[in-house]
Structure 1
Amino acid sequence: MRPRGREERHRAATPLELFFDLCFVVAVAQAGSQLGSALGEGHVRHGIAGYLFVFFAIWWAWMNFTWFASAYDTDDVPYRIATFVIIVGALILAAGVPRAFADSDYSVTVTGYVVMRVALVAQWLRAAASNAGPQRRVALRYAVGVALVQLYWVLWLVYVPAGDKWWALLPGLVADMAVPVVAERDAETAWHPGHIAERYGCFTLIVLGESVSAATVAVQSAVDEHQAFHELLPIAVGGLLICFSAWWIYFARSVEEHLRSNRVAFTWGYGHFFVFGSAAAVGAGLEVAVEHAVGKVHLSAQAATLGVTVPTAVYLITVWALHSRHVKRGIALWVLPVSGVVVLFSPSVLVAGLVCAASVAVGLLVHRLQGDGDADGPAVAEPTEV
């Protein structure tokens, strides 16, 4: 298992990696569904806390495998089997999400997480055995670090009392996120900037698609039961505008050229927790908005709207912080953060969607006026052709 070249040409996502993403989205869907149910029942604090914890486990396991695969993808039989084991762990985690939300029972979710991470430890040990020098040291640090953190999570599950579990989360989360920083402190793995950018883009697409799917199912169910077309149409239109705009904004410019060091890449990669988490939460918020419109949940109109506008605002501002601010200048630099603030205070889902669409339109207008490609137009075509 030798490192891939960072300057390797035509480094693209493999079918196994795409299959991996699709299996992981099952866990994302479970987390989003449970968040929507908790918000609809008025358990806002419990729902958000549970969602963040479960989504961290999903995102962190996905991210660690993605960066490992970018550096050491051999695509042989042992590699594929280890990847399948990680997928099994993701499915176990997904199966435990309802119990985690309903009863604060994290036994199944933690079991799934440990399965995923132990399989990754095996991959790092294989990389260590196949290399020498700095790459061997890095691989061993990863293997030991990940293994020690999994021991912490097992002890957390078994020995920490239920009333203290939330307080004991922080050390485990910090330790998990510190492993890559410590492991690569004096040598870097051979991750590929273009491959990493593509992998993150693929997962963004899948999460946005899950939000559209969740909203569609909610609208269909409400229509079948209540025939409330006039009440649901503004939510459906607003939700689609948000998702369409989220796609346009994320893929406006390629970020590959920006990912040239571990310092930059770690900030960018870690920051995507908020991109992925907020994109998935938009779908949960749309479910709540639909149920409120037909009277299935007893929330205020403002609370139901906030379930959509808050994650949308987080998405816009985070994408701006990770992507747009590095390539924009002048007025274009402030389109997304201003839009995020306006969305946050929007009185309805439809207005929030219109604001998102307007931010794209303003970006295209600025692009035309500046004539330098700094707007929120797609990276694959000129905006005038879209």
Structure 2
Amino acid sequence: MLSGAMSRFQRPTDTAEGQRATTLELFYDLVFVFAITQVSHLLLRHLTWEGVGQSALVLLVVWWAWNYTTWVTNELDPESIVVRLMLIGVMLASLLMAVAIPEAFGDRALLFAGAYVAIQVGRHAFLAFAASGRGTNERVRAERILTWFVVAGVFWIAGALADGSTRTLLWLIALAIDYGAPLCTYWVPFVRRVTPEAWQVQTAHFAERFQLFIIIALGETIVLTGATTSDLELTTERAVAFAVAFLTTAAMWWLYFDYVARIAERRLELAPNRTTLARDGYTYLHVVLAAGVIVSAVGDELVIAHPGDVLPGAEVAAVVAGPAIYLLAHTLFRLRMAGSISVKRLAGAIGCVAVGFLGGVVSGLVLALLVLAILVAVIVAEQVSGQRRAGRGDLAPLERLEAEAGGA
């Protein structure tokens, strides 16, 4: 078995379950506000299938850099000076990566890939050789992860030095290695396998960090719509479009934070397979939620810029796809966390796609209003369902979960 010895920079275990995000972690997140804005602008400037693919790849890279740091800070003590210095170094490299995003597939490919590789390899080299003693869980895990990052890093750097389709192919291979690693628990040939139990997920802190990333994405939407509106003449149509964009963002906030975030956190806390559930529900599925918010922000900007116009097909797709992706991600998240399907949110996602077929005959503002109406309808339907359940004397989902936990 792996040694039970702790990292010299481990979070205090006596209060870990009650710990929350620190100011250093919030400071670190500021870089990713900028990075998400860069991804949105990249998609906005290249609203083609190729641009969508490039934007998706860049988002997955940004997410993977942030995600691993979150897993690390879930166990390490941010009050340690050494950990602080490590995080500030990762933050600087993340900022360089974000700066390179607009030309990630152009002249700044090496800066983009090099900064990303430096983040991943540097962070886990620190964990493997500085933070942990020989034979500890932390060192064994970090060595396995570091091995995978080094292998993927070869493809990232090779892709940055290549051009065109060769670069894309090499980067897709690198991305597959990065995203496939957790699924096989960082298996390395001829070395004893590390099991999911080797990770200890501190639920309160872990769930809060991923909730904060959704706030980052929603905040970027507010910034993008506000900046777009301030640069244009404020007509009546544009003012309405701005209000619709804000209310759409507010509806997205409501859909996640009204009860989903709390129930998911509690399910994670009670799960016997906490590490695997955290990996699937948060590491993999939350990036889909973020993608929905980002695409929605792009759609909002297009509608604000041209509220009275019938939008081209690609722009119509952006307006309806963002909320559709977001609702579909909610459906998948509930399926993984609770084993059930949210029929209302799935129907909402289908409704958003259906509205897109009207894009060729209605203005961008009308299209955005229809999408907002669908989001509001989902919220209202869930509220009515909750009131009816309360009227029957049935337990709310969180109350039922607590009752099941108490009777276990």
| TM-score, with length taken from structure 1 | 0.85
For 2:97 and 2:166, the matched residues in 1 are separated by 22
1:279 aligns with 2:279: no
- CA 319–131 in structure 1, closer or farther in 2 if over 3 Å, else same: farther
1:342 aligns with 2:351: yes
Alignment deviations for residues 12-63 of structure 1 (CA, whole Å, 9 cap, x no partner): 1111111111122111111111211222xxxx11221121111111100000
Residues 312, 340 of structure 1: 8 Å contact kept: yes
| Alpha-carbon distance between aligned partners in 2 of 1:250 and 1:127, rounded to the nearest angstrom | 38
Letter in 2 for 1:363: E
| Counterpart among 80, 95, 107 of residue 99 in structure 2 | 95
> Which residue pairs with 2:169 in the alignment?
167
Counterpart residue number, 1:321: 332
Give the superposition deviation at 1:294: 6.9
How far 1:325 moved relative to its partner?
Answer: 7.4
**How far apart are residue 228 of structure 1 and its match?**
2.9
Identify which of structures 1 and 2 has the higher relative contact order when contacts are C-alpha pairs closer than 8 Å and 6+ apart: 1
Corresponding residue for residue 207 of structure 1:
217
How far apart are the structure 2 equivalents of 1:325 and 1:80?
A: 34
3-state SS, counterpart of residue 130 of structure 1? coil
Counterpart Cα distance in 2 of 1:241 and 1:323:
24
Alpha-carbon distance in 2 for matches of 1:53, 1:21: 20
**1:379 alignment partner in structure 2:** none
Task: Give secondary structure in 1 for the equivalent of 2:169.
Answer: coil
Structure 1 position 349, deviation (Å): 0.7
| Cα separation, 2, equivalents of 1:62 and 1:21 | 8
Q: What residue in structure 1 maps to residue 318 of structure 2?
A: 307
Q: Tell me the equivalent position of 1:219.
A: 229
Distance 1:327 1:136 in 2: 33
| Alignment partners' CA distance in 2, 1:104 and 1:48 | 19
User: Amino acid of the residue matched to residue 241 of structure 2?
Assistant: I
Q: Alpha-carbon deviation of 1:302?
A: 4.7
Q: Deviations along 1:212-261, whole A, 9 cap, x unmatched?
A: 110121122222xxx4322x234223322221111111112311232232
Change (3 A) 1:6 1:196: farther
8 A contact 2:128–2:138 mirrored in 1: no
Match of residue 207 from structure 2: 197
Is the Cα–Cα contact under 8 Å of residues 6 and 193 in structure 1 kept in the other structure?
A: no
User: Which amino acid is 1:228 matched to?
Assistant: T
Aligned to 1:250, which of 256, 264, 278? Answer: 256
Give the whole-Å Cα distance in 2 for the aligned partners of 1:315 and 1:89: 29
* Structure 1 alignment gaps of length 5 or more: 376-386
Give the 3 Å change call, closer, same or farther, for CA 304–188 of structure 1 in structure 2.
same
Secondary structure in 1 matching 2:199: coil
Q: Cα 1:127–1:366, aligned 2, differ >3 Å: closer, same or farther?
A: farther
- Separation of aligned partners in 2, 1:323 and 1:365: 19
Residue 236 of structure 2 corresponds to which residue in structure 1?
229
Report the secondary structure of 1:222's partner residue. coil
Q: Could you tell me which amino acid in structure 2 is paired with residue 112 of structure 1? A: A
Q: Aligned partners of 2:313 and 2:102: how far apart in 1?
A: 27
In the alignment, structure 2 segments of 5+ residues that lack a partner are 1-6, 187-192, 359-366, 399-408
Tell me which of 243, 262, 281 is aligned to 2:275. 262
TM superposition shift of 1:128: 6.0
Determine the C-alpha separation between the residues in 2 that align with 1:65 and 1:318.
Answer: 23
Q: TM-score, normalised by structure 2?
A: 0.81
CA 1:167/1:134 → structure 2, altered by over 3 Å: closer, same or farther? same
Distance 1:6 1:37, change over 3 A: farther
For residue 73 of structure 1, report the CA deviation from its aligned partner: 2.9
Q: Percent identity?
A: 21
Structure-1 residue corresponding to 2:388 = 369
Which amino acid in structure 1 is aligned with residue 94 of structure 2?
Answer: A
Deviations 1:264-303 (A, max 9, x none): 22111211121112212211221122223377xxx83554
Match of 1:381 in 2: none
Residue of structure 1 in register with 2:140 after alignment? 137
**CA gap 1:135/1:108 in 2 versus in 1, 3 angstroms:** closer
Worse-matched range after superposition: 364-373 or 300-309: 300-309
The equivalent of 1:178 in structure 2 is: 180
